[in-house]
Amino acid sequence: MMPKFGASILSWIPKWTPEGGLYAIQKTASSGFDIVEISLPASMDFDAKTVKKQLAKHGIEGRCSLILPKDCHLPHYPKQATQLLKKALDKVEAMGGNFLGGVLYAAIGSFTGAPCTDAEKNMLQDVLSEVADYARLRDITLALEPVNRYESYVLTSAAEVLQLTDRMHVDNIGLMLDTFHMNVEESNFFGPVVQAGDKLKYLHITESDRGMLGEGNVRWDDLFKALAAINYAGPLVLENFSSHLKELVGPTSLWRKSKYDPEALAKGSLAFMKKKAKQWNIGASATLEI
């Protein structure tokens, strides 16, 4: 049994809008993916019930992600962050989903000029424990995505996320890894996956330059060997970008023209993911699916 393969809406559109979202759902389905990852807007202007119908019509699943905006940077604005995260969980529930992942603990580009302090870590633990309880009542799993040092100072490695979640003692919050960020912050692609084990809930698959999978320097065999070792049961979700979407150039720092247009990039990357999953027998012994 093969794992489920997904693509972010950012493969097709720069941000969520009702019209753009429908287009992303249609393109994700027609390109052969099983899942579309919906990056929720911070405004929460998101008609979850309509999206649920659209997903059903096109025969794919929806998984939601979120990045906190600057005015909800959790260490500085815990109340605002808590409120927004709960609103996001309400949207996931209304859509019929069971997952919320991403940078649920910080705003990209918010820095203090110092490492994350113990007081900030305690704030993360308090807020995310409350949010996890709220999510549990809705049968939703949370996953925290560490991002590289140029985007945040709060959680930048798998080990830091695992240390935090171990202190929280909750069963519905885990780790979300992204191979782009791993390529910057981890010493290898095997160890963090094995260390996480069944706490790894979700995986962003992306090349070192955000381009076509297999054409950069991500050590894919090390990654897939690790996924096989832990019997990874979660989805493999593409998150790469094309400069052909002009609105993405600035936000994703695509300063050089992309070699591939969005459709070629998505389809070629999906073929690569399927090839590697088959090569390493990913999903063959998987028994758990979130």
Catalytically annotated residues: 145, 239
What Rg value do the Cα atoms of the chain yield, rounded? Answer: 18
Hey, what's the torsion of the CAs at 223, 287, 155, 99, to 10 degrees?
A: 130
Residues 114 and 73 sit within 8 Å (Cβ to Cβ): no
Residues 207 and 238 sit within 8 Å (Cβ to Cβ): no
Parallel/antiparallel/unpaired status of strands 141-144 and 173-178: parallel
What is the C-alpha separation between 185 and 178, in angstroms, rounded?
11
Residue 284 burial (CB count, 10 A): 13
What is the C-alpha separation between 65 and 75, in angstroms, rounded?
20
Phi-psi region of 230 (alpha: psi -120 to 50; beta: other; left: phi over 0): alpha
The CA-CA-CA angle for residues 210, 211, 213, to 5°, reads 105
Residues 218 and 207 sit within 8 Å (Cβ to Cβ): yes
Per DSSP, the three-state class of 99 is strand
Question: From the centroid of its chain, how far is CA 252?
Answer: 15
- E strands within 108-199? 141-144, 173-178
Beta bridge partners of 68: 107
